[in-house]
Amino acid sequence: MSEAKFTKQVDEGRDLTVVTVTGQVCMADLFRELRAFYDGPFTSKVLCDFSGAKASDVTVDSLRRFVTEAKVLAQRRLSGRTALVGQGAAYGMARMYEALSTITAHPIPLAVFRTTAEALSWLLQE
């Protein structure tokens, strides 16, 4: 059973959603949260902070499947941007996701950062 906690804060004025992930996270959690994000009203800018998370079953193949699904759902948010924040292994996994997104021509700009301050700066630039 997963011990992941996803905390979502929406700043409508900046058209920004910040998702903070903590605890032990598995790919099923990530797929569920991705689908839930697109099922409701969503913002164009998203910051996902994985600094407090540990991945349990993330593989290149599972990330590839995740990118494929995210790419399809992203058609609803083409004016968007996504920033991922991570430390240690989470940073490495985020970089792998970034590389797979680039290789598969994901339609939304995505960048990986070590701090939320850097991520916010990139997301909010005009």
61 dihedral zone (left: phi>0; alpha: psi -120 to 50; beta): alpha
Determine the structural domain holding residue 72 and report its residue range: 5-124
Residue 95 phi/psi, 5-degree rounding, is -65, -35
Report pLDDT digits (tens) over 99-126: 999 999 999 999 999 999 999 999 999 7
**pLDDT tens digits, one per residue of 14-55:** 999 999 999 999 999 999 999 999 998 999 999 999 999 998
Q: Is the pLDDT of residue 2 over 70?
A: no
Asked whether the whole model's pTM tops 0.85, one would answer yes
Number of domains in the chain: 1
What are 52-103's pLDDT values in tens digits? 999 878 888 999 999 999 999 999 999 999 999 999 988 999 999 999 999 9
Give the CATH number for residue 65: 3.30.750.24
